[in-house]
Amino acid sequence: MEPGEAAQETGRGAGGRPLALITGASAGIGYELARLFAENGYDLVVNAEDDRLEHAARRLREAGAEVRAVRADLRDPDGVDRLVAATTGLVVDVAALNAGVGQGGAFTDTDPADDQSVIDLNVTSTVRLAKPLLRDMVARGVGRLMFTSSIASTMPGSFQSVYNASKSFVQSFAQALQEEVKDTGVTVTSFMPGPTDTDFFRRAGMEDTKVGTMEKDDPAEVARQAFDAVMKGRGKLVTGSAKTKAQGVADKVLPDRVKAAVHRRMAEPGTAPDDDAS
């Protein structure tokens, strides 16, 4: 279904507009995705766990969309259930499973609870949300499911080991689903941003790393490329700047041990340049 195309099924947005669900929508790439859907004729169900969600929802309504904000922490199974319940009776035309979290530091130093938090959000909630959404889309014979993967999925994540592994899971999961639903009328898209100017690195405790202090990609441009890809039914792409896309090409040919060593130089604590470390 193209943006703005009228829909006849019950449970659509106001005036029969198509409906998009976006997780992690209070800021960053998720908010920019939601904004693009709103500007292209979609009503929205937006989710995040933080108190910025209502402010984001108000801004999205200014774009003319009907917006339902569901504040829920998807690391908690009850939060996933709350979001699934909020879509009951609705026809979700596009679902963007974007919520994610990272954790920097040596694996031997990180708190096991923080490691588990990465797995719970990036892996477990993604699987639990994808199941009912994809079932409904396949039953209708139409729909678009998109995953925020990461260029990190293509490399061993020294000093960010659980995060990179979680994104490798998302990438493999998305590509497996692409094959499963290829003849159903449903498309599955995964997009792989590089370092992006969001709150990710602060939340991951990586402000003293080279990657945490370097210049980053614009989340609005990352979202624009991802939006265009999902509307065209593309399977996967690296999103962001020319530098990020070049890294994606290099990662296809570099040995894993080389990529792990490069990642260490970017993500090991204390690698931030002295003039930026403050």
Catalytic positions: 163
DSSP E strands in 106-199: the ranges are 143-148, 186-193
CA dihedral 159, 163, 31, 140 (to 10 degrees): 160
Rounded to 10 degrees, what is the CA torsion of 56, 59, 61, 63?
A: -130
Are 167 and 66 within 8 A, CB to CB? no
Contacts of 208 (CB under 8 A, 6+ apart): 269, 270, 271, 272, 277
Q: 46 and 68 in contact (C-beta within 8 Å)?
A: yes
User: Residues 158, 256: contact at Cβ < 8 Å?
Assistant: no
Residue 221 burial by Cβ neighbours in a 10 Å radius (0-12, 13-18, 19+): middle
CB count in 10 Å sphere of residue 249: 10
Helix (H, G, I), strand (E, B) or coil at 21: strand
